[in-house]
Amino acid sequence: AVLQSVHNHVLYLTLNRPDVLNAANNALLLELLEGLKAAGRDPEVRAVVITGAGRGFCAGQDLAAVEERAGSFTEHIERTYNRVILQMRTLEKPVITAVNGVAAGAGASIALAGDVRLWSDAARFIEVFSNIALIPDSGSTWLLPRIVGYHRAFELMALAERVEPGDALRLGLCEHVYPAETFEAEVRAYAERMAARPTRALGLTKRALNYALTHTLEDALQHEAYLQEAASRLEDHQEGVSAFLHKRAPEFKGR
């Protein structure tokens, strides 16, 4: 249900149930989770791209596969979606969501949870949950209001409005929009540029940002100082300083 390939230090995780716009069944969620975990262990991987096969990104929970659920909704969500979202946010490498088509429900949450969100001009974002009288999950209630504010988030959720790429850029749901025809090549070039950055320092940057989102300025300053100590010991830091002093481009190794 998820295709994996590594190319020039970028791991591509391609959600692959195109007939149902990559709606998520258990296999898809667990394979996505395993792929993200493996990315954390593999020093060759310096950026991760999550994208979808076919014309969709991810249509959320496969509504025809809910019988696969072992136990309650709560247990299902905790075992699958929540772990995927937490793994994306805590993986100390850049996670890029390459939103090739419609992202709905939990699929919209996954699209949003990337560190960088690249959209095709064919992408659409829908907090579709209220159409089936559910609440937004997989972190949407935490992340979306932090991006667009409470009121815009509520309206998007309550009316299940379809957000088009122009509005997504304006609202901050994505960083870049590329034409569908060149999307794959643009994503590849972007991801490789990201993979050439000082991976460990970016991992610590993620940790600092995530910490800061839920702490006071005083705590965040202290946490930054602590993480900076770790960053200062990285090989890439020595390389960056040396490159600067010798007026040449740095060659980061990701360690």
Contacts with ligand LHQ, residue ranges (CB under 6 A): 20-21, 23, 59-64, 66, 73, 76-77, 102, 104-106, 126, 128-129, 131-132, 134, 137
**Least Å from the CB of residue 6 to ligand LHQ:** 29
* Shorter beta-carbon distance to ligand LHQ: residue 46 or 89: 89
CA distance 103 to 128: 9
Q: Which is nearer to ligand LHQ, 134 or 208 (CB)?
A: 134
Rounded least distance, CB 18 to ligand LHQ, Å = 9
Contact predicate 11/49, CB 8 Å: yes
Tokens encoding 3: 């295709």
Q: How far is the CB of 151 from ligand LHQ (least distance, A)?
A: 22
Shortest reach from residue 182's CB to ligand LHQ, in Å = 22
Rank residues 48 and 122 by Cβ distance to ligand LHQ and give the closer one.
122
Residue 122 CA, distance from chain mean position = 18
Q: Are strands 162-163 and 116-120 parallel, antiparallel or unpaired?
A: unpaired
**Secondary structure, 3-state, 81-119:** HHHHHHHHHHCCCCEEEEECCEEECHHHHHHHCCCEEEE
* Min separation Cβ 213 and ligand LHQ, Å: 23
Cα–chain-centroid distance for residue 129? 20
Q: Which is nearer to ligand LHQ, 160 or 230 (CB)?
A: 160
CA distance 208 to 219: 11
Q: Considering beta carbons, is residue 56 or 250 the nearer one to ligand LHQ?
A: 56
